Structure 1
Amino acid sequence: MKKVLIISNMYPSMEHLSYGIFVKNQVEQLRETGIESLLAVNADPKTGKLNVLKKYAKWAMKVNSTFKKNKKDIGLTHCHYVFPSGLFSYRLKMKYGIPYVVTAHGGDINKMAKKGGRIREYTNKILQNADHIIAVGEELASDIQRDFGVEESRISVMSMGIDRKVFYKPASKEETMKQVNMDPNRTNFLFVGNIIQEKGVEELISAFNQLDRNYPDQVALYCVGSTKDTAFTERMKELAGASKNIHFIEPMPQNRLAEYFQAANVFVLPSYIEGLGLVALEAMSCGTPVIASDVGGLHYMLQDGAGVLVPPKDANALFMEFEKVVLNNGQMNVNDAKVDELLQLHDSKAIIARLTDIYRQYIK
């Protein structure tokens, strides 16, 4: 079987551990099953027009050089994010006839493509010429069908998968709390994600501030994530004020992050848009219930009692759900049967088996 060239505009590095970590995890899991892959990825998260131009030019050269060196061995490209990653796969197919699979993660369809103009035109070309499209959530798949006229037969709904050997229920939540310096006598809320407006961080902190004023000795909030916009992060820290109960923590290796998921009483994901919300599944796999915005893939994931959904951009709705948990001694009831069903569906082993089957359809 020929090799797969993985193209992604997000990939982690030693300096930026969480940047596209889900792509790296999938690549490593594929390699464990015998799928040989080559990487042509961008590991630089810098923003700003000049930085973006520089890093994408460097990335483009890497894609081209990797392909040229390994042209005879490559049977398929798999790009993560329709634009810009998919543009490389599209051009390689047009010039060399190399088939490609593209994974849409959410922001590429619900944010980038909606800017219109050339980005939407490129997005349409990439989707129309893809041999197979993977959407990480049901709503995202529906958006691609409706907005770009892609037939259902070319789309698979498939998350990036959760590694349940890393994300699992602890023997003792209280002991895990102590390991990460959480106070077992408090209700500990956890957020994991980039510190950006679209993740609902402002509403999260506003809601927690209200909770903190009412229950100052009973609650804590841990925000684990990268700073992509320094000005926004500083503003969020100012919003948090002098509260000793709000903790901003830099990204960390996955095994350490899993301990935070295991320790928290509740995981919170108040995003404005979300293709799926893989971190919510990781929390659930660690036995931690989820409160999240009723958007995108989260709408499907947390229905039927698998978690609690709140309207996006609604700090008061978040506060009300937070308060319920505090008044219930840090406990939140969920539909365990539905959670187990979700975890089985999104287990990385099952996902990799499906992805391998897709690869084999197109690699000659």
Structure 2
Amino acid sequence: MKKVLVISNMYPSKEHLAYGIFVKNQVEQLEQEGIETLLAVNTNPATGKKNVLFKYAKWARNVMRTFRANKREISLTHSHYVFPSGLFSYYLKKRYNIPYIVTAHGGDINKMAKKGGQIRQFTEKILQSADHVIAVGEELATTIEKSFNVPNDKITVMSMGIDRNVFKKTEDKKQCAVQLGMDPEKTNFLFVGNIIREKGVAELIQAFNKVTESAPGQSALYCVGSTKDANFTSKVKELAQGNADIHFIEPMPQHELARYFQAADVFVLPSYIEGLGLVALEAMSCGTPVIASDVGGLHYMLADGAGVLVPPKDEILLQLALENAVKEGMQVNESRVNELLELHDAKEIITRLKELYTTHAK
């Protein structure tokens, strides 16, 4: 097989470490396994209509320039996010007969496509014309099959995988907490993700405020994530004002982030939508139990006692789950957790992805 052109509208840079980090991780794992890749990616997370138009125009030029310079060496394109990334793969297949695989991550199907109009039409065309579709979670795969008329045998459920050499248990959680400046005598909650409305951050802050009101000094909340919307982040920090047990931390490299997963007592992911929720798996891989919204891939992941599920946007039930974790700790079904970690191990994922590449490459 020749080279794979990887197209993604999200990819990290030195300035924005967490922006599409899962795509970068997979590209590096592919390279380690001998798959040569070319990148045509957007590293600019700027929002706002003018910024989006500018950055996507620049990215489009980069995609086409990279393709033309390497046309004879490319045997397949792999787009991350159906729209807009998949649009390039769709065009290159129609124009140059280059086969493509597209990975749906969740927001592209559950949010972007629901805007309707041309985006919905393009999403359907991209999915139906793809040589293969990867969905990061089971519910996402079902939606793609039923709502976009994609044959079941053309869809594979496969996450981006977790690097268990990075995200692994620590021998001493309390010592790890001390090293990060956490109080090991408190129940330390952790959230990792963009500080945006859809991640349920406002509900998390409000629920945690009530937890500390009823039981002061017994817990702390650490929110690791980048600002996508300055106004929303400002509102969230206003909600947290006056609560010294809430801490906001900027994104960091993966090996440093793993230390926070290891140190935390409970990981919390109260999203409104979630294709899979890879960060929840990273927490579990570090031996940290998870409380999360009963949505998308999280519904399947945390079933059978692997974690605690609460309805999305329900501040009261989230509060009760946090309070219960403070009072009684959290017990999980270890055998189920181990099954999940084996299934989503990055090495297993890369093996399966290589098979798809070999099957569909030109």
Could you state the TM-score of these two structures normalised by the residue count of structure 1? 0.99
Shift of 1:282: 0.1
Structure 1 SS opposite 2:217: coil
Structure 2 SS opposite 1:181: coil
Shift of 1:325: 1.1
Shift of 1:305: 0.1
Residue by residue over 1:138-164, the C-alpha shift from the partner in whole angstroms, topping out at 9 and shown as x without a partner, is: 000000001011000000000000000
Distance 2:219 2:192 in 1: 17
Asked if 1:247 corresponds to 2:247, the answer is yes
Distance 1:20 1:4 in 2: 18
Aligned pairs (5 A) from 1:26-45: 26-45=26-45
In structure 1, the partner of 2:109 is 109
Asked if 1:351 corresponds to 2:330, the answer is no
Structure 2 SS opposite 1:124: helix
RMSD value, Cα: 0.5
Aligned pairs (5 A) from 1:93-172: 93-172=93-172
Letter of the structure 2 residue corresponding to residue 179 of structure 1: Q
Aligned pairs (5 A) from 1:282-321: 282-321=282-321
Identity %: 69
In structure 2, the partner of 1:337 is 335
Structure 1 SS opposite 2:213: helix
Structure 2 SS opposite 1:349: helix
Distance 1:324 1:192 in 2: 21
Structure 1 SS opposite 2:195: coil
Shift of 1:241: 1.4
Structure 2 SS opposite 1:23: helix
Distance 2:326 2:20 in 1: 33
In structure 2, the partner of 1:238 is 238
Shift of 1:362: 1.4
Distance 2:111 2:186 in 1: 37
Shift of 1:212: 1.1
Shift of 1:215: 1.8
Distance 1:280 1:134 in 2: 20
Distance 1:6 1:70 in 2: 13
Shift of 1:191: 0.2
Residue by residue over 1:71-99, the C-alpha shift from the partner in whole angstroms, topping out at 9 and shown as x without a partner, is: 00000000000000000000000000000
In structure 2, the partner of 1:48 is 48
Letter of the structure 2 residue corresponding to residue 310 of structure 1: V
Structure 1 SS opposite 2:45: coil
Structure 1 SS opposite 2:134: strand
Letter of the structure 2 residue corresponding to residue 198 of structure 1: E
Asked if 1:184 corresponds to 2:184, the answer is yes
Shift of 1:312: 0.4
Letter of the structure 1 residue corresponding to residue 338 of structure 2: D
Structure 1 SS opposite 2:113: helix
Shift of 1:253: 0.3
In structure 2, the partner of 1:214 is 214
Number of equivalences: 362
In structure 1, the partner of 2:75 is 75
Shift of 1:242: 1.3
Distance 1:131 1:119 in 2: 20
Distance 2:269 2:227 in 1: 17
Letter of the structure 1 residue corresponding to residue 155 of structure 2: I
Runs of 4+ in 1 over 4 A off after TM superposition: none
Distance 2:233 2:242 in 1: 15
Residue by residue over 1:169-217, the C-alpha shift from the partner in whole angstroms, topping out at 9 and shown as x without a partner, is: 0010011101211110100000000000000001100100001111221
Distance 1:46 1:256 in 2: 25
Letter of the structure 1 residue corresponding to residue 215 of structure 2: Y
Letter of the structure 2 residue corresponding to residue 141 of structure 1: A
Could you state the TM-score of these two structures normalised by the residue count of structure 2? 1.00
In structure 2, the partner of 1:361 is 359
Distance 2:19 2:215 in 1: 34
In structure 2, the partner of 1:275 is 275
Letter of the structure 2 residue corresponding to residue 50 of structure 1: K
Distance 2:295 2:361 in 1: 35
Residue by residue over 1:205-261, the C-alpha shift from the partner in whole angstroms, topping out at 9 and shown as x without a partner, is: 010000111122111000000100000000000001111100000000000000000
Structure 2 SS opposite 1:209: helix
Distance 1:340 1:182 in 2: 27
Structure 2 SS opposite 1:149: coil
Structure 1 SS opposite 2:312: coil
